[in-house]
Chains A and B, each alone.
Chain A
Amino acid sequence: MYKILIVDDSKLARMSIAKVLSTLQPEWSRIEASNADEALALFTREQPDIALLDFNMPGRDGLALAAELCALDPRMPLALISANTQDEIVARTHEIGAAFLAKPVTKRALADFLSGAQLRLAAET
């Protein structure tokens, strides 16, 4: 059982990710934030295990947030979720050590990321 942080400025997008997630891992708990500041506050308070971040958000974008989360907890599996699949963004995501998932996110893509994330988390304990 893991706790997963979903960050997206769009409620529809959070609903969409939550729906896919609930079919894959119905037992996991979810926490949601709509921007980078909220996400950092939630991170400190709730200590999630995995984070899924939107790229294009008002204020700091998902890549900036990913870098900050990574500095706070280098071992937390992170994925950037965006319809903006330009090479530069995918490359920068991988440089940070995060996964890139195309939006709208599919069950298959999220399942693959979560399997990898679970392996990494299990290896640490």
Chain B
Amino acid sequence: MLSSTVVLNELEIDALTEMANIGVSHAAGSLRNMVGEQVLLTVPSVAIVSRSEAARVVGERDADKLVAVHQAFVGDISGRALLIFPEANSLELVRAVTKGELPLEDIIELEQEAVAEIGNIVLNGCLASMANMLQRSLTISLPEILRGTGRDFFDASAAAGSEDAVLFLYINFIVKQRDISGYIAIIMDLPAMASLKTLIRELIERTNGEVKADVAH
């Protein structure tokens, strides 16, 4: 399987990471506006790993059950984007977004719908700014809520085995005052990688343009 991997060079990985950084930063801005408090982000990480390794990364910190809002994207590149957090954070997230104005029973009733909408706004913000940078449009599916472990999320839609290599991009977010933390993850099957590489090369060429020759260090 790995022998057919499309290899990204250093600058292409750099460009992909920077694109993810911009996408997730925009998404964090939307989340910040919803919860009304600063959202801290880690530096994004991009790697080609097996599905089970991706599941381990997401699952290792939180042994407890997780909630994920999941959206598939289709276009010149295809994959899935997930907003993942511990199930125990879910009510607090909804409480933060509704600014503490609702009684607990309403929050519980709203949870499913509210979490899906939060995910929808965050993931769309992230995917849309990545699509804009690549100058391609992506069709983004409606949000779907998954509950379980990292393994469930990443193996769930795998047509083939869990040892298949995927492009796995993730970033950690924390809302300190609310004690909410989670991940934004994007996962792409390797067949999507060849077109991704082409789009990233185009992005680099557009960025590089005419300054190639005169960079002084």
Contacts and interface: CB of A to CB of B under 8 A. Distances in A.
B22 A104 contact: yes
Interface string B182-216: 00000000000000000000011001111100111
A12 B216 contact: no
Contacts of A31: 216-217
B174 to A, nearest CB: 13
Given A83-B21, A86-B28, A15 B133 contact: no
Contact of A103 (B22, B38, B43, B216): B22
Interface in A1-37: 9-13, 15-16, 18-19, 22, 29-32
Interface stretch (B11-19, B116-124, B138-146): B11-19
Contacts of B207: 12, 15-16, 19
A86 B32 contact: yes
Nearest to B17: A10
A19 B217 contact: no
Interface residues of B, number: 31
A30 B28 contact: no
A57 B38 CA distance: 18
Contacts of B29: 84-86
Interface string A71-92: 0000000000011111111000
A19 B210 contact: yes
A13 B18 contact: yes
Interface residues of A, number: 27
A32 B211 CA distance: 14
A10 B14 contact: yes
Given A56-B25, A84-B28, A85-B29, A12 B14 contact: yes
Contacts of B95: none
A82 B14 CA distance: 16
A116 interface: no
Contact of B43 (A58, A82, A83, A88): A58
Interface of B: 11, 14-15, 17-19, 21-23, 25-26, 28-29, 32, 38-39, 41, 43, 129, 133, 203-204, 207-211, 214-217
Given A83-B26, A85-B29, 6 more contacts: A10-B14, A10-B18, A10-B21, A12-B18, A12-B207, A19-B208
Interface of A: 9-13, 15-16, 18-19, 22, 29-32, 56-58, 82-89, 103-104
Give the top 4 A-B pairs by smallest Cβ distance, nearest first. Answer: A83-B25, A10-B18, A84-B25, A83-B22
